[in-house]
Structure 1
């Protein structure tokens, strides 16, 4: 990056954006920000001292009188209550003898009262602390007290070599340039990074002269330089706090919550925000997507890994529904992940008993009222399509005699209009999941529970069991009960609950049934609904499809994936 290009843009920002100038900090405020972000204790005098020797550049210098300094460039047109305003383009001077005691007699003077710093200058303070800190191990005194002076002397000699080198001035110049690059692009990225506004499509044309100039500056700087700056910021964030998954999670929060973070974690968020600021502007300048901030620190991502983990290659621009996979892995997704559509009251009652306490499951009764915690019901196929758009699994439980639903269901599956699973009970929920004798025993138990005054039902039980072979569907069962003069048995939530209690106790069909040893499908439904809490919708759609014949999820073929 040519210094003159960046300097010109810095002057344009100072002149053209009053809101940007209002974000600038006094030395006292910058020192407080550094303390809040875990960078140690800097006094206002020390901040002005760092400015005085050139380690820390200011973003605006204001004075009632002229300043004769070759590194300060006067700009006119800034109305901040001072007659003279300057941009700070100074470079640190090389000192062969080093910078030891350079601030020995420094005191805060009237000029320094008019220094203004962008909050991003904390990045330079981070390097002051990192490269100039003199300290020993917290155990040194206990282990070997005389060694303290040896350690301090060694560190002092290292600081002498470091500050007397040409590289010392070059590195601090570069670190200030990183700050200045992030600061000058901030007027076009601030609302996105710090106010959570939706970003423009990548490559959107510039909307004014400033954006044209900014784009020219970034293109002239080149991708290599900009990417190096972003990489250094991400690396600094990682050295402050290594919890990268926490960084991603926090950056999905609103900025007003992130900016309340204190300590080194808060500082890491600041540095990542700077890196994002540069990325957003560079993406517009070069009309291409750049790696996001969690991709550019230490480590390496394999192709497709981010989509598998987060549900989307672009985490911070992704629709919120795509990120539910990631939040689920962290145990933080409390929204609906699966909607289960059931035939009627019996199925509804059964599944409410099994999974109704889990917030990620929403049960919808197709034959009656829609049981939704939020909102109202939609038409069946329209609901399936809505689920697909929202990244919600659809699970459907139907009786085999509901041909109109089955036809629509299979057609919707063939057309890829929903994703999940469907179960067909033949001929209905009762006989498709239980033997006739189990249904009769459960129904008698329910009858006795609801009619406690009836003492003996032995004859009725014997008569009913004798006719068990006649029970081919729930209608036959209900008719037999009516014939025995018992309270008419009917489909209901309580009936469904009683059947589910039996299924939970005995998940497989009993001995003597033609389906002996097989797991009941209603148990499969309940287990599937529970497992789906930890299944990523986006990942499943990427590698699987719903088979319209079996109702099961099957792997995509190589052709289908491409």
Structure 2
């Protein structure tokens, strides 16, 4: 860290001294620490400091290397938590020549001085909490506004390029403690109650980045500039790559979106990643047989109850609203429908053409049963179902099924030929079909459509929503995903 003579002169000015008045002490968001607590916290952060009640901090203080931010009633030094950064630098370089260490400590202390001056203004933005030391919220708001105006006016006179380099140095110091930038962002957007419990090098890296963020926020507001954020300490991010990773080029400016991206990256999502629309109980129970608790895999299954074509129940309008909500929630839309009803095809094509489908569409031709099974397999499944229920399947096996070409005809034939005389729709039939798919997922050298869609739904939690939406489109003609 380096500062020019001109910058040092600003910090010797009366304008700078006026920032640290009684007003400032009332606005501070962090308590000052006694030396014993300062040492204890330093050790929690794995800083190699000596002492218990007293130790190296007071030694550095007495040598003029470590600045205090107040004194106790018996004239013992009190330290702001941010001084742990200065202490860390002193511990790293304590074996250096005294003259060099004295000169460097001036810069380290001065940097933390300015950041402590910014603390009452921007610390609530970082922690989500505000500490009140004044009589009421209105009084504090007015006092902070006046104080903020003074601080930003002072900052506007400083050399921005020098302080930008200092900001980068602080980020390097943080990454030397903990270089997990994604973990930092996850912690940065978590509750303060959890962050403040951290210890070890992760805590040190987090606090050092918070210190750097205070400096950045101050200069960005005072000078109207944009500095690189605290997770970005080294390496190169190509244009658009941070948006793909975090939802924004500047993750700190869109906490909600960043949390969504990071939660997905770390596998911490609790809401649905996929909303899967099916046309009836058969497919619904087939899914639930293959995935007994789809919600645990972030999959929500919605049964349209075979009414996709029904104007009376206005299912098409309901589907439109659901798909619109999926886009707003960055949720993949999976749609399964039968092509034997022309209105089904028309409705889905319309939703795709209007840009409401990001996900996976399976068009069952002509329907779920015949898109996934041939007639011999369906007879085998139905026969096994009868057998397990105590009925002789001989009449099913011996019947002529050659004229049957869709699920409805198969069900009608089954009701005539089976000794049970009941319908095949619903949970029982869906479970039987799913169990067969589980045993034989491949047919004619290719995965069955139902199994393909199942696999895609399970894997969706690892897919970047924006990448899928920006790079691929569902074809309204083939209903396949295609590169844009």
- For residue 553 of structure 1, the aligned residue among 478, 481, 484 is 481
Do the aligned partners of 1:355 and 1:361 also contact (CA within 8 Å) in 2? no
Name the counterpart of 2:231.
Answer: 294
For 1:30 and 1:212, the matched residues in 2 are separated by: 31
Corresponding residue for 2:385? Answer: 446
| 1: CA distance, partners of 2:12 / 2:202 | 30
- Cα distance in 2 for residues equivalent to 1:288 and 1:460: 77
Q: 1:56 is matched with which residue? A: 66
Aligned match of 2:134: none
* Separation in 1, partners of 2:415, 2:289: 27
| Residue number in structure 1 paired with 2:147 | 210
Q: Normalised by the size of structure 1, how large is the TM-score?
A: 0.74
Structure 1's 122 and 527: CA in aligned 2 closer, same or farther, altered over 3 A? same
Q: Which whole-Å CA distance do the structure 2 matches of 1:14 and 1:21 have between them?
A: 15
In the alignment, is the contact (CA less than 8 A) between 2:273 and 2:460 conserved in 1? Answer: yes
The answer to whether the 8 A contact 2:189-2:259 is kept is no
2:250 aligned with 1:314:
yes
1:224 positional shift: 1.3
Query: Which residue of 113, 118, 125 corresponds with 2:80?
Result: 118
Match of 2:10 in 1: 4
CA distance in 2, matches of 1:408, 1:287: 49
Residue in structure 2 matching 1:529, options 452, 457, 460: 457
Shift of 1:279: 1.7
Unaligned regions of 5+ residues in structure 2, if any?
1-6, 131-142, 308-314
Q: How many residues align?
A: 451
Q: Following the alignment from structure 2 to structure 1, what is the Cα–Cα distance between the partners of residues 147 and 112?
A: 19
CA contact (8 A) 2:277 2:335 kept: yes
Task: Determine which of 411, 415, 423 is the counterpart of 2:350.
Answer: 411
Question: Under a length normalisation based on structure 2, what TM-score does the superposition of the two structures give?
Answer: 0.85
1:337 pairs with one of 254, 273, 281: 273
1:501 equivalent in alignment to 2:429: no
Aligned-pair CA distance for 1:338: 0.9
| CA distance in structure 2 between the partners assigned to 1:288 and 1:341 by the alignment | 47
Cα deviation for residue 273 of structure 1 reads 0.8
SS at match of 1:12: coil
Separation (CA, whole Å) in 1 of partners of 2:407 and 2:205: 64
Equivalent residues of 1:423, 1:521 under 8 A apart: yes
What's the counterpart of residue 423 of structure 2?
489
Cα deviation 1:276-313 (Å, max 9, x = unaligned): 11122222223343211111x23333333322333332
| CA spacing shift, 1:523–1:15, aligned 2, 3 Å | same
Q: Counterpart of 2:37?
A: 29
Shift of 1:555: 2.0
**Secondary structure at 1:423 match in 2:** strand
Deviation by residue 1:356-390 (Cα, 9 ceiling, x = unmatched): 43422111111189xxxxxxx99322111111111
Distance 2:50 2:355 in 1: 60
The 2-side partners of 1:3 and 1:170 are apart by 15
Structure 1 residues 453-473: Cα deviation after superposition (integer angstroms, max 9, x where no partner): x3x33234202xx1x122122
Please give the secondary structure, in 2, of the residue aligned with 1:221. Answer: coil
Q: Distance in 2 between the 1:354 and 1:393 partners?
A: 20
Deviation at 1:213, TM superposition (A): 2.2
1:374-411 CA distance string (max 9 Å, x none): xxx99322111111111110100011134444433322
Match of 2:283 among 342, 347, 362: 347
SS of 2:275's equivalent in the other structure is strand
Q: CA deviation at 1:243?
A: 3.4
Match of 2:170 in 1: 233
Distance of aligned partners of 1:120 and 1:390 in 2 relative to their CA distance in 1, 3 Å threshold:
same
Q: 1:346 to 1:272 in 2, by over 3 A?
A: same
CA shift for structure 1 position 180: 1.3
Residues of 2 paired with 1:432 and 1:6: CA distance?
A: 81
User: Partners of 2:183 and 2:335 in 1: how far apart?
Assistant: 36
- TM alignment of 1:244-323, pairs within 5 A: 244-295=181-232, 297-323=233-259
What RMSD over aligned residues (CA atoms) do the two structures have, in Å? 2.7
Q: 1:279 to 1:332 in 2, by over 3 A?
A: same
Aligned to 1:428: 367
Match of 2:101 in 1: 168
Provide the residue aligned with 1:328 in structure 2. 264
2:322 pairs, out of 363, 383, 405, with: 383
Distance 1:21 1:247 in 2: 22
Contact 2:274–2:331 at 8 Å: present in 1 too? Answer: yes
8 A Cα contact 2:189 2:255, kept in partner: no
Match of 1:16 in 2: 23
Q: Which runs of 5 or more structure 1 residues have no equivalent in the other structure?
A: 64-109, 133-158, 198-205, 370-376, 510-515, 557-562
Structure 1 window deviating more from structure 2 (269-278 vs 188-197): it is 188-197
Aligned counterparts of 2:144 and 2:357: Cα–Cα separation in 1 = 41
Aligned to 2:312: none
Shift of 1:10: 5.5
- Alpha-carbon distance in structure 1 between the residues aligned to 2:376 and 2:12: 85
Q: Does 1:180 align with 2:113?
A: yes
Larger radius of gyration: 1
Task: Provide, for residues 426-471 of structure 1, a one-character-per-residue CA deviation record: whole Å limited to 9, x for no partner.
Answer: 2211122211221122112112222x2x3x33234202xx1x1221
Structure 1 residue 125: deviation in Å? 0.6
Distance 1:245 1:22 in 2: 26
Relative distance call for 1:238 and 1:169 in structure 2 (3 A) is same
1:347–1:485 Cα change, 3 Å = closer
How many angstroms apart in 1 are the aligned matches of 2:33 and 2:21? 14
